[in-house]
Structure formats: C-alpha cells, structure tokens
Amino acid sequence: MSNRTEELDRLLDNIVNSPNGTEASKTLEEIENNQSYILDIQLKKLLRLHDDSFKNKCVLPANDMLERYTPYLGRAEVLQKEAELVDRDLRIIEMAYQLIKKNRELK
C-alpha cells in the first residue's frame, strides 16, 4: 500500500504544482492567498476590535470605579472607628444611667 500512497502523493503534487496552472493549483493558490489575508489582515483587525471592546467594556469602567471610590476607603475606616467610639460612649452612658437609677431606688 505504501507504493500506492507514494504514487498518489506524487500525482497530487504534480497536479497542484503543475506549471500549466491547473484548476487545482489555482484553487490552492487562492486558498493560500486567502489564508495569508486572514492571518495578516483580518485576524489582526479582529484582535484590535476585541482589545478595544474589552478595554471599553471592562477596563475603563473598573478604572472609573477605582478612581471614584478610592477616596472613600480611608473615610470608611475613620467612620468605623468613630462609630465604635459612639457605641462605647452610649454603653457607658447606659451603665451610668442604670447605676443612678439603682442608687435612687436604694434611698
């Protein structure tokens, strides 16, 4: 079978690479030209479009959010600490009020 395969390969090579310009060789040349155009032009254009789309839909909005909310990050920590101080002060006042109330009841 290898002889037949070799012969078939040789015949196909003769048809495709014929100096007479057969339909098969013309079609193969057109396919190669199309492949080159797709890889060199269309694929690069598609990648640029994808990169621009990704940038506009994902990167830029994320950067905008980061810029918008970064100043609040420090404020949130300060606010949390102040809320804890207010909570502590309210508990102290509540305990003092209960002690005063308890002392009045004893008198």
> Percent of the chain at pLDDT above 90?
16
Which residue would you say has higher pLDDT here, 95 or 58? Answer: 95
56: its two tokens: 């506009």
Our count of domains for the chain comes to 1
Distance separating alpha carbons of residues 48 and 61, to the nearest angstrom: 19
pTM of the full predicted structure? 0.34
Q: Which domain holds residue 11?
A: 2-106
Residue 10 has pLDDT above 60, yes or no: yes
Distance separating alpha carbons of residues 74 and 83, to the nearest angstrom: 14
Residue 102 has pLDDT above 80, yes or no: yes
75: its two tokens: 């404020």
Torsional sign, CA 32, 36, 39, 42: negative
What is the pLDDT at residue 49?
A: 84
- 31-72 pLDDT, tens digit each: 888 888 888 888 888 888 888 888 888 888 888 888 888 877
Distance separating alpha carbons of residues 4 and 9, to the nearest angstrom: 8
